[in-house]
Structure 1
């Protein structure tokens, strides 16, 4: 293809904030290169996106497709962060019903490429007849994809039971100690629809022209190479997409000033930050144990707590799961933030030394961008358990000990892990390794090089005869 020819590229992320934002980052990069982008999502998700810089807005248009009502889906919910995990299958059903309006849009808009997520397994049936090329963009890392296996495994019945996922798969051809724990598999079953996530992924991997993932060779070379073998098609890393600190003073500037002045009074790398993502919903008992562990660590901290999402029969008393008396007892060394925190700004502050995380890939990237050591507390959903093992194995964090069957843990093990990662001599190597990771995870130049390579791959892609159209 003539490199000067500008492409029309559709972006179609899954309805979760952790997917919507990386898709927007890639959209902005492609738009800067002069390509025309149609970013497709639901009205509420599009409404939540940050404002685009004026020089990009002419190349990116937002296409709003409304969800149809699905029995079981709470009214007004358009993303996973608004739902308890057992309601996510209904969101998948509503998303599947976007097939008709999306087909209509693609038929009438001369799209060359569609960059899509793991969920719309029906997409190849639309794109192939229209001669539209597709890329599966995984916001998950190749470690996770490799563990799920090739399409023959994804679409077969080799793994029938949750425990089949708790061992290292035989196709992994490099040294590996990463696998799921039994309690993580049970938890994830709750968000599966009639069409499982594995089936969705298998069909899309078979139907796309190539695969891209949020990673780089500097961190996951074995995994990228194996994934390409398993998928029998190119896997083009996109870079880690480290987010940039917001330049503009937003409406939350006052809140940040208060947090910053508190952090300014603390010693370098003395504070640990706790945030469990936008979708991890802890029971009151789990939160109580975690809170007591945080308290017992005797170290300064910032804790972000979010409200419980909509579900049947919830009263206001469920809205805050912080144990009674906790805030008063820790008020001299702890800051509790509700529902929102400027995470990137907090992690960038020199007083932060560690991050107690649910192990979502975006959160790990943000932490290692600033070299913060990880206290790993897997949210037990999708890739989080594997990420916890991976980071523990790379010695940039330490996993909190838990019962493998039910996921339970003690407040003492929370406190001990926090102290080891933050201050104890035996955590020194972890702190040093995490700090060294800035060279890869915080390297915006490196990330840009990968995005350039990805863009070139799309621009120069020569479709096979069966896909060529006049």
Structure 2
């Protein structure tokens, strides 16, 4: 006899890899817990996710909704990773047009819960109309959510200027230095849909849903989590950090020529001697800043592996080589520059890697800390990456590269100094020790399962709107 699924749960992430991937990890777990899960996204995003190995489940289904066209969005683009930041507003407008197709799916699919991102602020009223429970899954940590504050203040737009976000807000009731730099907020405003700004979307999505879910845990962020239920005025349920499984450093995938080549290079380096450099799928630096970063990496004198993305757009033009002339030749004895996609978690898990120069995306930092790696914090200057940089610097698991508050500039000497402190200098020993100790939280698979199981049970026991006989 077939066992009927406990619940039918729809998942609807924003069209960015930093969102689609954690939504997928949560989907896989819920499917393993016996729920029917419909993961809804656009065709190219689903195809991209399915390229990566994942645990299959008979309860996990992928639902493709073609992305409507809007003027200003280049044809065939379905992800922020393929756009310059100033084109992202058009992607948001196209995404909003999925409301109709999504509603048709929900009407005909006996969904009990929809777990949605904050960008589709229109989901909670739609879900309520269809007697479906909704929870906004925020894929960042509690400290960032606490900084943004009460939904009504976000909807009202009480903070407008970039400098309004450079101070710790008055509702933070615990010691904290987590705030934005002016250049980070100025940069983020480039991706705003002026008709529906991100803070309006964020506030509306949180205010309208019944439960807020976020990628955090009380072991890492106890004070922010305690505060959140007060300022959001609704249940806040953490799902844990969703750490990825640690790959075997000795494993070689058949046919994965990229990994074979990278592993061979790393195998020739000493234990924990190499720092890994990766700035995510969306961060785009000017040629000037990229060369300053390269100069600092060179001046550090330490072995490194730098993955440089092949980004198709910089200010609307095809990207060009942004490294210093002759850079690769000068560092060829100790450094490797790799262009294109590379298996980040496999690289981080290799024994030769001793530190991570990161853009401070939440997923990347969790991956590194799950392995106990200290962080060289270089804020990507978009989304909440600046807040994450301050948080991790505050926790002393990494050291932030200082940048000019207004224009985000920095010097190569500063870059080199921070790299050396984090990697080899005596001054950095506490940072390396703190990062290693963080494995017990960020890399604790059993702790992660505990929080995920509690979340699954919360959904099962929630009675507000769920219809009791949908599967009868």
- TM-score, normalising length: structure 1: 0.95
Instruction: Report the equivalent of 2:409.
Output: 408
User: Given that residues 82 and 313 in structure 2 are in contact (C-alpha distance below 8 angstroms), is that contact kept between their aligned partners in structure 1?
Assistant: yes
In structure 2, runs of 5+ residues without a counterpart are none
- Distance 1:357-1:152 versus aligned 2 partners, 3 A rule: same
For 2:51 and 2:155, the matched residues in 1 are separated by 40
Task: Report the count of equivalent residues.
Answer: 464
Instruction: Please tell me whether residue 199 in structure 1 is matched to residue 200 in structure 2.
Output: yes
- Distance 1:24-1:413 versus aligned 2 partners, 3 A rule: same
Q: Tell me how large the CA RMSD over aligned residues is.
A: 1.9
Instruction: Report the equivalent of 1:147.
Output: 147
For 1:313 and 1:174, the matched residues in 2 are separated by 43
| Cα shift at 1:99 | 0.5
User: Given that residues 74 and 310 in structure 1 are in contact (C-alpha distance below 8 angstroms), is that contact kept between their aligned partners in structure 2?
Assistant: no
Instruction: Report the equivalent of 1:12.
Output: 12
Instruction: Please tell me whether residue 280 in structure 1 is matched to residue 283 in structure 2.
Output: yes
1:432-464 deviation per Cα after TM superposition (whole angstroms, max 9, x unaligned)? 101111111111111011100000000011217
| Cα shift at 1:251 | 6.2
1:271-323 deviation per Cα after TM superposition (whole angstroms, max 9, x unaligned)? 100000000011111110000000000000000101233367525xx332222
For 1:425 and 1:62, the matched residues in 2 are separated by 50
1:307 to 303, 307, 310: 310
| SS of aligned partner of 2:146 | helix
- Distance 1:330-1:71 versus aligned 2 partners, 3 A rule: same
- Distance 1:135-1:71 versus aligned 2 partners, 3 A rule: same
| Cα shift at 1:4 | 8.3
For 1:288 and 1:55, the matched residues in 2 are separated by 40
User: Given that residues 206 and 232 in structure 2 are in contact (C-alpha distance below 8 angstroms), is that contact kept between their aligned partners in structure 1?
Assistant: yes
Instruction: Report the equivalent of 1:78.
Output: 78
- Distance 1:313-1:204 versus aligned 2 partners, 3 A rule: closer
| Cα shift at 1:58 | 2.2
| Cα shift at 1:34 | 1.2
| Greater mean alpha carbon deviation, residues 318-327 or residues 295-304 | 318-327
User: Given that residues 134 and 208 in structure 1 are in contact (C-alpha distance below 8 angstroms), is that contact kept between their aligned partners in structure 2?
Assistant: yes
For 2:427 and 2:116, the matched residues in 1 are separated by 44
Residue correspondence of structure 1 range 288-437 to structure 2 within 5 A: 288-310=291-313, 314-315=317-318, 318-437=319-438
Residue correspondence of structure 1 range 82-161 to structure 2 within 5 A: 82-161=82-161
For 1:328 and 1:159, the matched residues in 2 are separated by 48
Residue correspondence of structure 1 range 243-258 to structure 2 within 5 A: 243-245=244-246, 250=253, 253-258=256-261
- Distance 1:312-1:436 versus aligned 2 partners, 3 A rule: closer
1:82-111 deviation per Cα after TM superposition (whole angstroms, max 9, x unaligned)? 000000000000000001100111111110
Instruction: Report the equivalent of 2:262.
Output: 259
Instruction: Report the equivalent of 2:44.
Output: 44
